[in-house]
Copies of this chain bind each other. A is one copy, B any other.
Amino acid sequence: MNSPIRVTVWGENHHENSERDRAGMAERYPEGMHGAIASGLRSLLGDQVEVRTATLDQPEHGLTEEVLGSTDVLTWWGHARHADVDDAVVARVHQRVLGGMGLLALHSAHFSKIFKVLMGTGCTLAWRNSADTELVWNVSPGHPITQGVPQPIVIDEQEMYGEFFDIPAPDEQVFLSTFTGGEVFRSGCTWRRGLGKVFYFSPGDQEYPVYHHPDIQRVLANAVVWARPEVSEFVPPPVVNMAPPVLVGGTLAATQPPADAR
């Protein structure tokens, strides 16, 4: 476990370049949101990670077989252009997660193809954009992802995401968020899928500088370490024909189990 974690930070890179948002983005995120996320990971994790970025506009969205083949943890931010992500790339990322790669799905990635495929649900939610204060509460204080942040994390201004959030019951509920309007959201959730780990974390938005928030950066850094694969090499789980039985000669006993066995 001593080699660096190879992280690929994927960004849609749309708001950064769209006519409507370009000016504000340049102020909040001069290196793009993906740049800010990558920067936070590098500065908090140092030698523990090797971080690169990839974006939608690159060939194969920057997620070639070669890139994925050398990625331990992928972070995903998308919003306006989910539909433009090539299904073949989604299938490739999906297989790689099943094979052990960690995935951090961030904020509006709740509607990304890859997250929806992994969840199997609609991933709908309630929302409002009116600069609510978001409080992020730690409900799993023994979990590695929640170490080193205050209770609660305070985000002065943020988009509201609220329940009902149509996701499978998380394997672990890590954070819950509340908003000025009184809403609640399951903002930090983990699931295993195949050999891989998935972390959904909602704080973070293109209109607010949330990815510069030190506590949010800490959570993302913790999550990268947590999501690192446990297995040394990635093999998509095969259908195995178990030719030889492990035990032989087993036949049904004349005597059934005792009637009182529940």
By a CB distance below 8 angstroms, the chain B residues around A117 are 120
A169 at the interface (CB under 8 A from B): yes
Pick from B127, B171, B240: contact of A241, CB under 8 Å? B127
Q: Say whether, besides A124-B238, A126-B241, A253-B246, A262 and B181 are in contact (CB < 8 Å).
A: no
Q: List 24 A-B contacts (CB under 8 A).
A: A120-B193, A125-B239, A133-B182, A137-B162, A138-B163, A139-B165, A141-B164, A141-B195, A151-B261, A154-B246, A164-B262, A168-B168, A168-B192, A176-B184, A177-B184, A180-B251, A181-B245, A240-B260, A242-B257, A243-B258, A244-B255, A246-B257, A248-B250, A249-B251
Cα A81 to Cα B149 with chains together (Å): 36
**B126 pairs with A242, CB closer than 8 A:** yes
A88 at the interface (CB under 8 A from B): no
Task: Indicate with 1 or 0, residue by residue over A110-147, a CB within 8 angstroms of chain B CB atoms.
Answer: 00000001111110111110101101011111111001
| CB-nearest residue of chain B to A198 | B120
| Chain A interface, >50% SS class | loop
**A120 pairs with B122, CB closer than 8 A:** no
Tell me, rounded to whole Å, the shortest Cβ–Cβ distance linking A87 to chain B.
12
